[in-house]
C-alpha cells in the first residue's frame, strides 16, 4: 500500500508539473523567513535514543494528556498505561512486526526525551489553540491512494509534526498538500491554514493555503491544483501497477 511519505518523496514529475516554483531556493527562503520560535526549551540530540519510537510515543502521550486532561508525568509513570502506549506505537510504526519484546523497553534517556517532546508539543497547542483541537484527523482516500491520517488540526489549521534536527524539506510541505487535497475532494471544504511544527527545535511555520498555492503555481487555486495532483498521482500509480 502506498503511503503519504512515498508520495511526497517520489512522483517528482507530478510535483514539478503542479508546483513548479517549489524549488530548493524556495525552501531555503521558506526556512529563513517563515519559521518562528514557539517553545522556550529546544531539545538537543543525545545518543542512545531511538528517535522513531520516541517521537511517535511522545505524540501519542501528548494526545492522551490533552484529550483526557492528564499530566504527562502522570501518564509516563503509570507503567500499565505507558507500556500499552509504547506497544501500540511500535505496532503502528514497525509494521513488519520484526521487533522483540525487549525492543519495547525504553531507556531512561528515551523516557526523558518523551517528556520533553510532550512538554513542547503541549506548549505549542496551548499557545496556538483558540477553540478546537483534533489529533489524527482521518482523511478519505482517492482511487489507489488509501485513507490517511494527518497529525494535528488546531481550529482552522492543519499541522504536520516533524520531530527532527534538520530544517523543513519540500517533502514535508508535499505531505501536507496530500492531506489538504484529500480533504478538498472528499468534503469540498478545507483548512484555511496549514503549517509545520518541530517540537525538537521548538519552531513552527503557518501559512495561508490559498496564498501559498498561488505563489507556488503562479496564481492557480487550491481546488484545481489539488485535483490535478491527485489525478496525476493516480495515473502514475496505474501505469506503475501495469508493469
pLDDT tens for each residue of 65-97: 999 999 999 999 999 999 999 999 999 999 888
Q: Is the pLDDT of residue 117 over 70?
A: yes
Confidence of residue 98 (pLDDT cuts 50, 70, 90): confident
Integer Rg of the chain from CA: 19
User: Which residue carries 492557480 as its cell?
Assistant: 220
73, 122: one domain: yes
- Domain-embedded: residue 192: yes
Give the confidence band of 195 by pLDDT, cuts at 50, 70, 90: very high
pTM for this prediction? 0.93
- The number of distinct structural domains making up the chain is 2
What is the pLDDT at residue 72? 98
Residue 236 lies in a domain: yes
Asked if 125 and 133 count as a contact pair (C-beta separation under 8 A), the reply is yes
**Distance between CA atoms of 184 and 196, rounded to whole angstroms?**
19
Structural domain for 111, as ranges: 51-128
In a domain, 14, yes or no: yes
CB-based contacts of 195: which residues, under 8 Å, 6+ apart? 157, 158, 159, 160, 176, 204, 205, 206, 207
Q: Answer yes or no: do 90 and 34 share one domain.
A: no
Same domain (yes/no): 138, 234: yes
With the C-alpha atoms ordered 167, 170, 174, 176, is the resulting torsion angle positive or negative?
positive
Rounded distance between C-alpha atoms, residue 81 and residue 79, angstroms: 6
Domain boundary among 128, 144, 163: 128
Which DSSP string corresponds to 101-134? GGGGPPPHHHHHHHHHHHHHHHHHHHHH-SS-EE
Q: Do the domain assignments include residue 59?
A: yes
Q: Which residue, 93, 128, 163, sits at the end of a domain?
A: 128
Q: Residue 43: inside a domain, yes or no?
A: no
Q: Which one is predicted more confidently, 242 or 13?
A: 13
Helix (H) or strand (E) holding 92: helix 79-93
Reported as a pLDDT band with limits 50, 70 and 90, residue 136 is: very high
Give strand pairing partners of 142.
145
- Report residue 144's pLDDT band, with 50, 70 and 90 as the boundaries: confident
Tens digit of each residue's pLDDT (9 = 90 or more) over 202-227: 999 999 999 999 999 999 999 999 99
**145 and 221 belong to one structural domain:** yes
**pLDDT for res 25:** 97
Amino acid at each position: 500500500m502506498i503511503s503519504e511519505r512515498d508520495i511526497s518523496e517520489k512522483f517528482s514529475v507530478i510535483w514539478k508539473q503542479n508546483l513548479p516554483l517549489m524549488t530548493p531556493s524556495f525552501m531555503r527562503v521558506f526556512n529563513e523567513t517563515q519559521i518562528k520560535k514557539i517553545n522556550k526549551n529546544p531539545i538537543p540530540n543525545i545518543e542512545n535514543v531511538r528517535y522513531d519510537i520516541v517521537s511517535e510515543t511522545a505524540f501519542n502521550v501528548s494526545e492522551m494528556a490533552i484529550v483526557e486532561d492528564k499530566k504527562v508525568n502522570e501518564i509516563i509513570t503509570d507503567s500499565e498505561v505507558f507500556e500499552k502506549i509504547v506497544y501500540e506505537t511500535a505496532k503502528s510504526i514497525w509494521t513488519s512486526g520484526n521487533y522483540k519484546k525487549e525492543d519495547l523497553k525504553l531507556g531512561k534517556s528515551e523516557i526523558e526525551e518523551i517528556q520533553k517532546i510532550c512538554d513542547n508539543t503541549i506548549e505549542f497547542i496551548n499557545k496556538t489553540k483558540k477553540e478546537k483541537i483534533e489529533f489524527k484527523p482521518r482523511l478519505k482516500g482517492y482511487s489507489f491512494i488509501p485513507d490517511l491520517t494527518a497529525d494535528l488540526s488546531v481550529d482552522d489549521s492543519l499541522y504536520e509534526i516533524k520531530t527532527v534536527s534538520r530544517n523543513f524539506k519540500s517533502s514535508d510541505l508535499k505531505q501536507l498538500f496530500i492531506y489538504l487535497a484529500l480533504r478538498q475532494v472528499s468534503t469540498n471544504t478545507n483548512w484555511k491554514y496549514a503549517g509545520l511544527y518541530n517540537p525538537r527545535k521548538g519552531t513552527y511555520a503557518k501559512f495561508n493555503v490559498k496564498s501559498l498555492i498561488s505563489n507556488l503555481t503562479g496564481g492557480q487555486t487550491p481546488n484545481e491544483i489539488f485535483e490535478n495532483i491527485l489525478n496525476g498521482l493516480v495515473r502514475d500509480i496505474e501505469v506503475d501497477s501495469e508493469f
